[in-house]
Amino acid sequence: KAGVTQTPRYLIKTRGQQVTLSCSPISGHRSVSWYQQTPGQGLQFLFEYFSETQRNKGNFPGRFSGRQFSNSRSEMNVSTLELGDSALYLCASSGRENTEQYFGPGTRLTVT
């Protein structure tokens, strides 16, 4: 079974631009969660989607948004990028029992 895939792996953007990151969960998994990892703040929960519905949301500004498609693939979008948005963005998927969350390799976003 293929693991969680994330595209692109690396991205460089300029302040004020917007960015879209993509995540394909493990086949059969319907829950997708997103996390931001920075040296200063560590790993922080962004949001979680299940069957195209956002179930939980972390404490991030409205510039951070996401969605999930009918095939369980998920995208997250960050608008009006700030330098502080530079981070590793990780996506995780989990199956029916929602017990085990498997992470993708991440997308490293650099904002200049």
**Which of 51, 56, 71, 112 is in the footprint of another protein by CB under 8 A?**
56
Closest distance of CB 70 from another protein, Å: 19
**42 interacts with another protein by CB under 8 A:** yes
With respect to another protein, which residue has the nearer C-beta, 17 or 27?
Answer: 27
Two tokens, residue 34:
């997103």
Residue 41: alpha-carbon gap to chain centroid:
16
With respect to another protein, which residue has the nearer C-beta, 14 or 59?
Answer: 59
Q: Which of 63, 89, 57, 93 is nearest to 77 (CA)?
A: 63
d(CA 4, CA 31): 12
With respect to another protein, which residue has the nearer C-beta, 7 or 18?
Answer: 7
Sign for the CA dihedral angle at 20, 57, 6, 68 comes to negative
Could you list the residues that contact another protein (CB under 8 A)? 4, 31, 33, 35, 42-45, 48, 50, 55-56, 58, 90, 92, 94, 98-106
